[in-house]
Amino acid sequence: MSSKFLIIHNPAAGRWQRKRLTKLHTLLERSGYSVISRPTTRRGDARDAALTAAGIDVIVAAGGDGTVNEVLTGLLKRGAGSDIPAIAFFPMGTANVLAWELNLPRKPDAFVRMIQANRRIETTPARANGHPFLLMASAGLDARAVAALNPGIKRVIGGAAYLLAAISAMRQAEPRYTVTVDGKTTEARSVIVTRARRYGGPFVLTRDAGLKTAALHVVLMQSYGWTAALRYGWGLLRGRLARLGDVTVVPGRAVAVHGPVGEPVQLDGDVATALPVEIALETRTISFVVPGRPA
């Protein structure tokens, strides 16, 4: 019996992206797989499609990190004991942190070869105020920039829209956060709670983190302002952010962040909740298809 695939995708993608998606669908069917395609029309559709998909072996999340987050959320809403399909991420978004994290192929033929190899990893997501995330959660300049992002401008200029949003966010008052990691409390001006090593695409946030680890890694930045932002950005570009004197990385399994009530908290690239926030690892794992030899 052939494996059954569900491709969840955004039909509003550009012409080139649609051609990639069509080629992927065709190649999967030629390889003997049963393929269903489910377009999304609004936020939440990918979540609902993953929640209700029956008899599916692999869900292909075709989009950005936010698409994967919705699929993840839908799968985790299934009752205990439910069959949970694996996720194969076909990157079509702007930054695609997960694609860099897992070294995923972007060409349809290479992606199908990855599917055929059938190598998988199990990873444990986390929750922030009950909202699942796979990659990271943050409060501070990062989250403020995501909240200020204009989707229309992003569609036109891509990743550069985040720079404009960050400039807008810098005009707000300097934040102060109280962060508790496994019962130990400290303060910070920006906080990133990560499961991933990378941030913003290919850039290494902290080498200690990773989707195979059994911990959250909390990146605490003690400075704020234009000078700090430029210094942190340069450190990130060089892969040395965690080595700066005013940056600390603390591993843990339970994190609480307090600050201005109602301030945005971003999860996997989208604002999903607000301060105060409590973050902890999930109790269930999710399987991801990754490059490599057959398992």
Do residues 287 and 121 make contact, with C-beta atoms less than 8 angstroms apart?
yes
CA distance 225 to 33: 52
Does residue 294 lie in a domain region? Answer: no
Q: Which pLDDT does position 165 carry in this prediction?
A: 78
Please report the pLDDT score of residue 294 as a whole number. Answer: 43
| pTM, two decimal places | 0.91
Do 117 and 294 contact (CB within 8 A), yes or no?
Answer: yes
Tell me the two tokens of residue 97: 């942190």
3-state secondary structure string across 38-70: EECCCCCHHHHHHHHCCCCCEEEEEECHHHHHH
What total number of domains does the chain contain? 2
Within this chain, do residues 103 and 169 fall inside the same structural domain, yes or no? no
- The answer to whether residues 132 and 233 touch, using CB atoms and an 8 Å cutoff, is no
Which 3 state secondary structure label does DSSP give 253?
A: coil
Residue 268 domain-assigned?
A: yes
CATH classification of the domain holding 184: 2.60.200.40
Last residue of a domain, one of 58, 82, 117: 117
Question: In this structure, is residue 122 part of a structural domain?
Answer: no
**Residue 234: both structure tokens together:** 């340069």
Domain membership of residue 214 (yes or no) is yes
Q: Left (φ > 0), alpha (ψ -120 to 50) or beta: where does 72 sit?
A: alpha
107 and 172 assigned to the same domain: no
The CATH number of the domain where 47 resides is what? 3.40.50.10330
Q: Strand 58-63: give its sheet, edge to edge.
A: 34-39, 4-9, 58-63, 86-91, 286-290, 119-123
Regarding whether 267 and 140 lie in a shared domain, the answer is yes
Strands 58-63 and 86-91: parallel
Exposure string for 241-254, b = 16+ CB within 10 A, e = fewer: bbebeebebbebee
Is the same domain home to 74 and 213?
Answer: no
Q: Examine residue 288 and state whether it is found in any structural domain, yes or no.
A: no
My answer on whether 181 and 214 are in the same domain is yes
Please report which residue ranges of 77-150 form alpha helices under DSSP H. Answer: 97-102, 108-117, 141-148
pLDDT of residue 93: 72
| Range of the structural domain that residue 262 is part of | 131-281
Residue 286 lies in a domain: no
Residue 267 and residue 202 share a domain: yes
Last residue of a domain, one of 64, 88, 117: 117
Q: For the chain, which residues score pLDDT lower than 50? A: 1, 294-295
pLDDT tens track for 125-170: 999 999 999 999 999 998 998 888 877 776 666 667 777 878 888 8
135, 112: one domain: no
- Are 240 and 140 in a shared domain? yes
Q: Tell me: do 233 and 143 sit in the same domain.
A: yes
Asked if residue 275 and residue 139 are part of one domain, the reply reads: yes
Domain check: are 216 and 85 in the same one? no
What are the start-end ranges of the E strands in 98-239?
Answer: 119-123, 126-128, 131-133, 136-139, 177-181, 184-188, 190-194, 198-199, 203-204, 216-221
Same domain, 90 and 197: no
Residue 123 lies in a domain: no
